[in-house]
């Protein structure tokens, strides 16, 4: 089977190749360690790629987790902005660092459990895809790396709040 069945082989207006993405550290991070190359559902694949990152950070202290999450959000603005410029396209679907940061934000509201991981994943994807207000406003009005990151951070905050409530009442 041809590899182009599963991954995009021409990326953005500037038609970057998967090899260019995988060999450039900034693009590699922006594409979620390669998960954003997926032809179908790259955002979901990026969120799947966030799970091992979360599992590693969940084993650390709360302070380290929060610092790493804040760093992923702040550095993500630069990572996503640079990548959008290199692709020649704002918020290209393969840029999934924002999904990684968004899931980390979501999961920062609760202690580790597999129920929380699954619920957090579903809630984050729901809010990231549906983009209810104010997430939709952020997505439409804020550009550049900040815009790419901020709607997913907002989705993570909303999903995390609901996850916190579920953790208090159900888990």
pLDDT tens, position by position, 69-109: 999 999 999 999 999 999 999 989 999 999 999 999 999 99
* Residue 102: closest CA among 27, 18, 8, 32: 32
Q: Which residues are CB-neighbours of 85 under 8 A, at least 6 positions away?
A: none
Asked if the model's pLDDT at residue 130 lies above 80, the reply is yes
149-167 pLDDT, tens digit each = 999 999 999 999 999 999 9
Phi, psi (5° rounding) for residue 31?
-90, 20
* Averaged pLDDT score across all residues of the chain: 95
Q: Largest Cα–Cα distance in the chain?
A: 49
Task: Give the length of the chain.
Answer: 171
CA gap 74, 146 in Å, rounded: 9
3-state secondary structure the chain: CCHHHCECCCECCCCECHHHHHHCHHHHHHCHHHHHHECCCHHHHHHHHHHHHHHHHCCCCHHHHHHHHHHHHHHHHHHHHHHHHHHCCCCCCCCCHHHHHHHHHHHCCCCCCHHHHHHHHHHHHHHHHHCCCCHHHHHHHCCHHHHHHHHHHHHHHHHHHHHHHHHHHCC
User: What was the pLDDT predicted at 170?
Assistant: 84
User: What was the pLDDT predicted at 1?
Assistant: 60
User: What was the pLDDT predicted at 71?
Assistant: 98
Asked if the model's pLDDT at residue 110 lies above 80, the reply is yes
| pLDDT, mean of residues 136-159 | 97
Band (pLDDT 50/70/90 cuts) for residue 50 is: very high
User: What was the pLDDT predicted at 125?
Assistant: 98
pTM: 0.95
Q: Provide the terminal-to-terminal Cα distance of the chain, rounded to the nearest Å.
A: 43
Asked if the model's pLDDT at residue 134 lies above 80, the reply is yes
2-33 pLDDT, tens digit each = 677 788 788 999 999 999 999 999 999 999 99
User: What was the pLDDT predicted at 132?
Assistant: 96
User: What was the pLDDT predicted at 8?
Assistant: 77
Asked if the model's pLDDT at residue 169 lies above 80, the reply is yes
């Amino acid at each position: 089977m041809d590899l182009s069945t599963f991954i995009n082989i021409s990326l953005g207006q500037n038609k970057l190749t998967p090899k260019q993405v995988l060999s450039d550290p900034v693009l590699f991070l922006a594409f979620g360690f390669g998960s954003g190359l997926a032809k179908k559902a790259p955002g979901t694949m990026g969120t799947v790629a966030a799970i091992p990152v979360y599992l590693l950070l969940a084993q650390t202290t709360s302070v380290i987790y929060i610092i790493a999450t804040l760093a992923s959000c702040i550095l993500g603005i630069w990572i996503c902005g640079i990548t959008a410029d290199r692709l020649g396209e704002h918020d290209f679907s393969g840029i999934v660092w924002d999904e990684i940061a968004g899931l980390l934000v979501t999961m920062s509201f609760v202690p580790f459990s597999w129920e929380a991981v699954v619920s957090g994943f579903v809630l984050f994807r729901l809010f990231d895809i549906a983009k209810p207000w104010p997430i939709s406003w952020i997505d439409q009005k804020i550009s550049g790396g900040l815009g790419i990151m901020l709607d997913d951070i907002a989705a993570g905050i909303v999903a995390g709040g609901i996850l916190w409530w579920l953790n208090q009442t159900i888990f």
